[in-house]
Structure 1
Amino acid sequence: MQQDNNKDNFSLTKEIASYAIIIVIAVLLAAHLNVVVSGSMEPSFYRGDIVATVNTNTYGIQEFNPETDVNVGDVVVYNATWYKEPVIHRVINVEMINGSKYFTIKGDNNNQADPYLVQPHQIRSKVMTVGGNLVIIPKIGYVTLLFRGL
């Protein structure tokens, strides 16, 4: 009887640990996924797609430094001064002005660059690439857009 009770406790502990691991993985994954809210980056990705990112700060861990790790051609997520949601666009120029770094950023489907230069502290994350290809999960972000009313 005692042995059966120990088995049950061990099984319950394993089940709880399994759920805890799944929750931790889900939270970490969610911190690295961004839903595309517009068509400004077509044809690279589309509204409703999800892009996988590396972040400047995930729960206190710095994954990359925008001051040194962002280059022309990178697709970044940044806090724009001109839009309420984070913007996902491509870096088209990097320049130094009075000793400070600034990025010119533009949507691939836009005719002109975003209205203001972007400073490194505004960059939240960079879209992951594998073999030079952006990491994208097509279309499943539409559910989030519907819930958020976007």
Structure 2
Amino acid sequence: MTSYAIIIIVAVLLSSHLSVVVSGSMEPAFYRGDIVATENVQTYYGVHEFDPYNDVKVGDVVVYNAEWYPEPVIHRVIGIEDINGSKYYLIKGDNNNVADPYLVTPDQIRAKVITINNSLLVIPKIGYITIWFRGL
């Protein structure tokens, strides 16, 4: 019985740190159906893992709530702007020709993709099951 509880706890902890890629906008960094490992602004259990106001830099790949798309978007920060004392991020998919249509506030950022030795932490292809179930 205890081992089941441990498995459930580990699964909940891991699931809050994994995001499924639903488009090809970040190819070749990662592909549709891949899963990226993230550190979160706030986890389900109330822990703040990073501060989107101070811990996001140009080159980071973030997960954010876009004004222009109903699902969270996973794209790269390509610029940081200060407009009237407020911080904004310019964000773009690596495989897109233009930046995302709106500047992003730190409050919109939910997570940052984990990098190890300048490589994104990606689990290839196993996210297709989730994409299929969600009809994306």
TM-score (norm 2): 0.98
Alignment length (residue pairs): 135
Q: Does 1:83 align with 2:36?
A: no
- The letter of the residue matching 2:105 is Q
Among candidates 27, 35, 40, match of residue 42 of structure 1: 27
Equivalence map 1:1-150=2 (5 Å): 16-58=1-43, 59-150=45-136
- The letter of the residue matching 2:37 is A
User: Per-residue deviation at 1:95?
Assistant: 1.1
Q: Distance in 2 between matches of 1:23 and 1:129?
A: 26
Give the structure with the larger helix fraction. 1
Question: What secondary structure sits across from 1:85 in the alignment?
Answer: coil
Q: Distance in 1 between matches of 2:51 and 2:84?
A: 20
User: Per-residue deviation at 1:72?
Assistant: 0.1
- The letter of the residue matching 1:103 is Y
The 4+ residue runs of structure 1 with deviation greater than 6 A are none
Percent identity over the alignment is 72
- The letter of the residue matching 2:115 is T
User: Per-residue deviation at 1:47?
Assistant: 0.2
Q: Distance in 1 between matches of 2:47 and 2:123?
A: 24
User: Per-residue deviation at 1:17?
Assistant: 1.3
- The letter of the residue matching 1:18 is S
User: Per-residue deviation at 1:91?
Assistant: 0.0
- The letter of the residue matching 2:64 is Y
User: Per-residue deviation at 1:103?
Assistant: 0.1
The residue aligned with 1:13 is none
Q: Distance in 2 between matches of 1:149 and 1:114?
A: 23
Q: Distance in 2 between matches of 1:18 and 1:130?
A: 30
- 1:44-79 deviation per Cα after TM superposition (whole angstroms, max 9, x unaligned): 000000000000000211000000000000000000
**Tell me, which stretches of 5 or more residues in structure 1 are unaligned?**
1-15
Question: What secondary structure sits across from 1:68 in the alignment?
Answer: coil
Q: For the pair shown, which has the larger CA radius of gyration, 1 or 2?
A: 1
TM-score (norm 1): 0.89
